[in-house]
Amino acid sequence: MGALSSMAISCLHSLSHKESCFLSYKTSQISKPLFINSSLNKPRFSISFCLKQSDRNERQIQQESVIEEDNEEEEEDYWVVTAVRSRYNEIVIVDTAASRYLLLDSTKNVHSVINKGGQNWTGSYWDEFASLPPIIPNGPIAIYGLGGGTAARLILELWPSTQLEGYEIDGILIEKARYYLGLSELEKPTSKGGSLRVHVDDALFPSQDVSGRYAGIIVDLFADGKVLDQLQEVPIWLDLASRLMPNGRIMVNCAGIEEEKVAANGKPQLVFGDSVWMLNSTIKILSEAFPGQVSWKRTPDSEGLNFVALTGGLPDLSDWSSKVPVRLSETVKLWKLCENP
């Protein structure tokens, strides 16, 4: 389950006998998914709700207003189309006129977005994952943290012969994503023979032997708004690397700068430019696991200020740029090798 953004939503009307709930949000805060880090001093919103048992195990949402005032900004409408608690998550799927969002756990962070009208570009870190196929061998790509399939959808649009294998530990999440987020459509073969195979399994400890299986692995594993704790250990990354074919690569959503890294011991750490990656603990542990073989980039503020990392050394950026869609051709040139100051 990946995470990127905190969504500004407040529940204004409770419908005790329906799954839908009218919501209001501030347009400028969630016109697209953004990673909101507390250190950026941006407004942060959440949905407050109560879980109740019913015959369908669906959530009945109680009224709770958590709007932060900004009278100059236009308000639009949101609806909760379904909400349920699973063993692993508090799952909420929210609808707007333009998009549908998957929110998970107590943070209410956005883990997937599906745009209506056939536009699969998100303007966020999911788009970065779609740049991976040209720099890896021919072979299947695993997505660890499939969520609602946002990255898979764009990859299959751009690279329709790709064989994707998506791992998601939460079977109820997959059930909801199939029904409400169109995940089932991605499981059908494309015109070029590509498709998504879904595994309801623990990506870090799969029930099957996957040694040497994948040309690439996309890692987008989050819980409670942060990268999984297990991914802060070198042995886990070495195990993931063992699942790659020769010359395979891992691309990772590493989130942003942790607040405690910005102000360690009460004093801000002034690290900028090519060394700013050192403020991200996930990239640091990757660099320890694969010395000299990790590259990084940071998405712009408008796209969420997420760090993404790539194993296998820095690709030929000009060649890579020429092989991706125009929308990605300039952004791939921003990758840099992790180098200690």
The whole model's pTM is what? 0.78
Domain shared by 105 and 251, yes or no: no
Is 83 domain-assigned? yes
Q: Is residue 10 part of a domain?
A: no
The closest of 178, 168, 126, 125 to 146, measured between CA atoms, is 168
pLDDT tens column, 8-20: 333 323 322 333 3
Same domain flag for 111 and 158 = no
Q: What is the CATH number of the domain that holds 160?
A: 3.40.50.150
Q: What are phi and psi of 126, to 5 degrees?
A: -60, -35
Give helix then strand counts, H and E, for the chain. 9, 17
Structural contact between residues 48 and 64, judged by C-beta atoms closer than 8 angstroms: yes
Backbone Cα Rg of the chain: 20
**Number of domains within the chain:** 2
Structure-model confidence comparison of residues 238 and 109, the more confident one: 238
Higher-pLDDT residue of 254 and 38 is: 254
Based on the domain organization, do 188 and 288 belong to the same domain?
yes
CA angle 304, 309, 313 (to 5 degrees): 150
Residue 23 phi/psi, 5-degree rounding, is -130, 160
For residue 55, what pLDDT is reported? Answer: 33
pLDDT in tens, 172-224: 999 999 999 999 999 999 999 999 999 999 999 999 999 999 999 999 999 88
Q: Is 33 a member of any domain?
A: no
6-10, 177-181, 308-312, 327-331: which range is least confident on average? 6-10
Residues 109 and 144 in one domain: no
Q: For all residues of the chain together, what is the average pLDDT?
A: 78
End-to-end CA distance of the chain: 33
Q: Are the CB atoms for 247 and 214 separated by under 8 Å? A: no
**Which DSSP string do the residues of 172-221 spell out, in sequence order?**
HHHHHHHHHS-HHHHTS--TTS-EEEEEES-TTS-SS--TT-EEEEEE--
Domain span at 92: 78-115
Q: Is residue 65 part of a domain?
A: no
Q: What is the pLDDT of residue 33?
A: 32
Supply the pLDDT for residue 57. Answer: 41
Residue 6 lies in a domain: no
